A and B are shown apart, each in its own frame.
Chain A
Amino acid sequence: ILNVEQSPQSLHVQEGDSTNFTCSFPSSNFYALHWYRWETAKSPEALFVMTLNGDEKKKGRISATLNTKEGYSYLYIKGSQPEDSATYLCAFSLGNTGFQKLVFGTGTRLLVSP
């Protein structure tokens, strides 16, 4: 059974704090790692799709790293703002299915207080 673990489950920080979350996934049969941001009452929005070991991606104050050998990815938010409050999902894409099968973690819920 494939398992994608995200930690912490939830996080409450103050505006201006920097924070990071972890996504752990199986290191075998890796194809890609997706990160999504899901704000309340909205649809999940893609942040990054990462494929290469050692890959780093950045979008504004948010960045992500990938280690496929040990099976983890970190998502960093620098100087958190209240508008960053959302659930952050990671999803592991298998390499041998012939289609984009994503296995999702349960998410990290971030609350940023002003």
Chain B
Amino acid sequence: DGGITQSPKYLFRKEGQNVTLSCEQNLNHDAMYWYRQDPGQGLRLIYYSQIVNDFQKGDIAEGYSVSREKKESFPLTVTSAQKNPTAFYLCASSGGGLVQPQHFGDGTRLSIL
């Protein structure tokens, strides 16, 4: 089945450590996105990529980095510079055009040890 796979489901980070969240899609979508969810807030955009080898900062990119070396993959690294990384992270993708729905993964919950 076509879809988006995020891993791991749960992740724990130690102080000063970088961690990477995986996002893979087999929908042949050009655009991919990373969102963060905090309690009582809507999903907020961290980074997005419209094509391979190109990505742009979203609204809350500080302390995060991404890469887009393959169309299928858009990993997110939470660096030690992100001082409040505890949150739920969702990856999404969308097909061509600005009115296509976004397709989401199941998410990764990141906590601090």
Binding site for B on A (CB under 8 A): 4, 31-32, 34, 36, 41-46, 49, 51, 89, 91, 93, 99-107
Please report the total number of B residues contacting A with Cβ < 8 Å: 25
* B8 interface hit (Cβ, 8 Å): no
Q: Please determine whether B45 and A101 come into contact, CB atoms closer than 8 angstroms.
A: yes
- Of the residues B40, B45, B90, B99, contact of A44 by C-beta under 8 Å: B90
Which residue of chain B is the closest to A5 with respect to CB atoms?
A: B42
* B84 interface hit (Cβ, 8 Å): no
Binding site for A on B (CB under 8 A): 4, 31, 35, 40-45, 48, 50, 56, 58, 90, 94, 98-107
CB of A108 to closest CB in B, whole Å:
12
Contact of A43 with B31 at beta-carbon distance under 8 Å, contacts A89-B43, A99-B48, A106-B42 already known: no
Q: Please determine whether A100 and B104 come into contact, CB atoms closer than 8 angstroms.
A: no
Bound CA span A93–B102, Å: 11
Q: Please determine whether B43 and A100 come into contact, CB atoms closer than 8 angstroms.
A: no
Which residue of chain B is the closest to A44 with respect to CB atoms?
A: B104
Bound CA span A45–B99, Å: 15
